[in-house]
């Protein structure tokens, strides 16, 4: 387990401009769509983090030629019917998105595949993809509700699928299955979730149409998907660590360039505005996905309340929302966020455990937490722990920027799951004289 000393509060705050790595969700999907298209797909500003490399390696094992040079990936598409049975189980590491999306894709292929993953992924619920895919005739054999998973590929039938959980991974699994079914499919979401799969299928020449209610999606059959050149926007979920840091470290002003601003993902910006944060957004032109620059200046924050409808657009940023709330001048309450319990860790438990070490007044609820930001922090334990969860690790590194007490982070290597260069990027915003030397956690 790697342990790392964390950067303390820089006296003049954080300053500078950063371009964060490519979007994780879009990197996974770009690989998959490229693989099932005909012709060549070129992804620029791809995220070469462990999670996306799990998808890349799985697709190679399915017979897809893929070349990667840094953040540029070239995929020779095999078309929807050109994947080959892998020689062994596909090991998806820590990647829930890879597992669920590939389960949907492989359910309609004419061969069987076994999917396995690391300890954390093997504890995450998979029945959520098995049940909706079964309504299309798919056969997924789980071990309880978990990996290892056998996908018994077969011909699928289009139908109407009502999703029981608000999950873009589950929706995307059904879309990828529906592309291969006989008869069109309709998917009804519980709440609108990130729509990158829909946008990308359409960009590759397919037809996924969203109804005006923003919850009902129809998927046209057997599209001819053609390879594309895609530039992947910066990941707003990665930018969010610096957006939060700049908001809560006095004296800061930071700009994040070319970040994805898909409205299904921008909950963190709305949260910050509602809390009184100083944030300005400069939208660029839109090429498939909205994109722009975000500038944040430190400001005193107000408390806020979030309920179930607010959650999907901020799901991955809830550890940061907790941190923002821990600096606000009142009591914040987050509810309807029970999905956090089944992320890379039980994030309600890990957020509460770790923030309590910093003396934050936080109370756990079954579906969220209550935080009184008026209580000043008092470090009670100097050894913080990511619990093997990349987003918890980065949130704690941002929290440490409020402290003048040295603290360490156990399990810092987990950060490589989504942001291998996180500490290097953070170091760029800290004045040289005060920067703790931090090498990348590759
Ligand atoms: C993702 C969807 C979300 C998110 C995850 C990435 C995706 O998960 O938390 O980090 O790329 O579709 P759920 O679909 O489980 O909400």
76 vs 41: CA distance, rounded Å: 7
Whether residue 339 contacts residue 311, with contact meaning beta carbons closer than 8 Å, is answered with yes
Q: What is the pTM of this model?
A: 0.98
Q: Give the whole-angstrom CA distance, residue 157 versus residue 76.
A: 28
Which stretch of 120-124, 354-358, 432-436 has the lowest confidence by average pLDDT?
432-436
| Residues 400, 343, 371: CA angle, nearest 5 degrees | 50
Cis peptide before 301 (omega within 30 of 0): no
C-alpha of residue 25 to centroid of ligand 1, in Å:
8
The β-bridge partners of 254 are: 16, 296
Nearest ligand 1 atom, CA 237? 10
Q: Are 410 and 436 in contact (CB under 8 A)?
A: no
Three-state DSSP state, 35: helix
Per-residue pLDDT band at 434 (split at 50, 70, 90)? confident
Whether pLDDT at 3 is above 90: no
Share of the chain above pLDDT 90, in %: 94
Average the pLDDT over 107-130 and give the result: 98
Q: State how far the alpha carbon of 387 is from the alpha carbons of 53, 349, 352, 354, 401, in Å.
A: 22, 10, 12, 10, 20
Q: Which of 164, 168, 237, 268 has the most ligand 1 atoms within 8 A of CB, as the residue to mutate?
A: 168
CA nearest ligand 1 atom 4, residue:
316
Ligand 1 nearest-atom number relative to CA 342: 15
Pocket of ligand 1 (CB under 6 A): 25, 97, 167-169, 172, 194, 315-316, 339
Dihedral-angle region of residue 124 (phi above 0 means left; psi in -120 to 50 means alpha; beta otherwise): beta
- 409, two tokens: 């982070």
**3-22+233-434 topology per CATH:** UDP-n-acetylglucosamine1-carboxyvinyl-transferase; Chain (3.65.10)
Q: Return the ligand 1 atom nearest residue 101 CA.
A: 12
Q: pLDDT category, 439, cuts 50, 70, 90? A: very low
Q: Which atom of ligand 1 is nearest to the CA of 25?
A: 11
Task: Specify the pLDDT at position 221.
Answer: 84
Please tell me the class of the 24-231 domain: alpha beta
Q: List, for residues 28-86, the tens digit of each pLDDT value.
A: 999 999 999 999 999 999 999 999 999 999 999 999 999 999 999 999 999 999 999 99
413 in active site = no
Total residues found in the chain within this entry: 442
CA of 52 to the centre of ligand 1 (A): 13
pLDDT digits 0-9 by tens, 369-417: 999 999 999 999 999 999 999 999 999 999 999 999 999 999 999 999 9
Chain-centroid distance, C-alpha 177: 21
The active-site residue out of 51, 293, 316, 413 is 316
For a mutational test of ligand 1's pocket, the pick from 47, 102, 129, 169, i.e. the residue with the most ligand atoms closer than 8 A to its C-beta, is 169
| 353 half-sphere exposure, CB direction, 13 A CA radius | 13
**CA-proximal residue: ligand 1, atom 13 (nearest):** 167
What's the rounded mean pLDDT across residues 239-250? Answer: 98
Residue 440 has pLDDT above 60, yes or no: no
CA-closest residue to ligand 1 atom 16: 167
Return mean pLDDT, the chain. 96
pLDDT tops 90 at residue 232: yes
| pLDDT given for residue 437 in this prediction | 60
Distance 208 CA to ligand 1 centre (A): 19
* pLDDT band (50, 70, 90) for residue 436: confident
Nearest to 128 by CA among 154, 93, 96: 96
Rounded to the nearest angstrom, the distance between the alpha carbon of 407 and the centre of ligand 1 is 30
pLDDT at res. 366: 98
Pairing of strands 72-78, 368-372: unpaired
Out of 85-94, 172-181, 329-338, 426-435, pick the least confident. 426-435
For ligand 1, pick from 97, 105, 336, 344 the residue to mutate: most ligand atoms within 8 Å of CB.
97
Residue extents of the structural domains in the chain: 3-22+233-434, 24-231
Strand boundaries in 1-106, DSSP class E: 3-5, 15-18, 38-44, 66-69, 72-78, 90-91
Residue 153 confidence (pLDDT) above 60: yes
Which of 24-33, 45-54, 221-230, 433-442 has the lowest average pLDDT? 433-442
Confidence bin at 223 (pLDDT 50/70/90): confident
The β-bridge relationship of strands 66-69 and 291-297 is: unpaired
User: What would the two tokens of residue 433 be?
Assistant: 């004289």
- CA-24 nearest atom, ligand 1: 11
- Alpha helices, H only, 193-300: 196-203, 236-248, 267-274
pLDDT of 2: 67
Q: How remote is the CA of residue 430 from the centroid of ligand 1, in Å?
A: 31
Is the model's pLDDT at 438 over the cut of 80?
no
Q: What angle do CA 409, 255, 403 make, to 5 degrees?
A: 30
Question: Residue 214 has which token pair?
Answer: 């923003």
CA of 330 to the centre of ligand 1 (A): 30
Q: Could you say which DSSP state residue 21 is in? A: P
**CATH topology agreement for domains 3-22+233-434 and 24-231:** yes
The tokens describing 141, both together, are: 């054999």
Query: In angstroms, what is the span from residue 168 Cα to ligand 1's centroid?
Result: 6
d(CA 372, CA 435): 31
């Amino acid at each position: 387990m790697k342990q790392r000393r964390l950067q303390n509060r820089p006296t003049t705050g954080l300053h500078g401009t950063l371009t964060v790595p490519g979007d994780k969700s879009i990197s996974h999907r770009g690989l998959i769509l490229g693989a099932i298209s005909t012709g060549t797909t070129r992804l620029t500003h791809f995220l070469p983090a462990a999670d996306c490399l799990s998808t890349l390696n799985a697709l190679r094992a399915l017979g897809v030629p893929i070349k990667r040079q840094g953040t540029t990936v070239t995929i020779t598409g095999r078309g929807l019917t050109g994947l080959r049975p892998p020689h062994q189980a596909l090991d998806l590491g820590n990647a829930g998105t890879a597992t669920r999306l590939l389960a949907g894709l492989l359910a309609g292929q004419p061969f069987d595949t076994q999917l396995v993953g690391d300890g954390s992924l093997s504890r995450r619920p998979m029945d959520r993809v098995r049940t909706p895919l079964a309504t299309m005739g798919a056969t997924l054999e789980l071990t309880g509700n978990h990996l290892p998973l056998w996908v018994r590929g077969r011909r699928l039938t289009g139908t109407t699928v009502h999703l029981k959980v608000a999950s873009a991974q589950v929706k995307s699994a059904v879309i990828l299955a529906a592309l291969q079914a006989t008869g069109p499919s309709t998917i009804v979401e519980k709440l609108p979730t990130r729509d990158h799969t829909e946008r990308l299928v359409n960009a590759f020449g397919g037809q996924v149409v969203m109804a005006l209610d923003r919850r009902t999606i129809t998927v046209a059959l057997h599209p001819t998907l053609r390879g594309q050149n895609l530039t992947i926007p910066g990941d707003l979920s990665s930018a969010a660590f610096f957006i939060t840091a700049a908001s809560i470290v006095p004296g800061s002003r930071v700009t994040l360039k070319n970040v994805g601003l898909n409205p299904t993902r921008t909950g963190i910006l709305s949260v910050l505005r509602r809390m009184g944060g100083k944030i300005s957004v400069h939208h660029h032109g839109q090429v498939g996905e909205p994109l722009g620059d975000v500038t944040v200046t430190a400001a005193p924050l107000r408390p806020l309340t979030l309920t179930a409808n607010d959650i999907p657009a901020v799901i991955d940023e809830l550890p940061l929302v907790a941190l923002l709330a821990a600096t606000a001048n009142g009591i914040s309450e987050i509810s309807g966020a029970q999905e956090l319990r089944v992320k890379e860790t039980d994030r309600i438990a890990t957020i509460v455990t770790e923030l309590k070490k910093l003396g934050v007044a936080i109370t756990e609820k079954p579906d969220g937490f209550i935080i009184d930001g008026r209580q000043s922090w008092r470090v009670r334990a100097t050894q913080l722990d990511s619990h093997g969860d990349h987003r918890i690790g980065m949130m704690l590194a941002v929290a440490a920027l409020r402290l003048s007490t040295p603290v360490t982070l156990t399990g810092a290597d987990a950060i490589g799951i989504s942001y291998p260069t996180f500490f290097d990027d953070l170091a760029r915003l800290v004045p040289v004289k005060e920067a703790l030397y931090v090498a990348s956690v590759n």
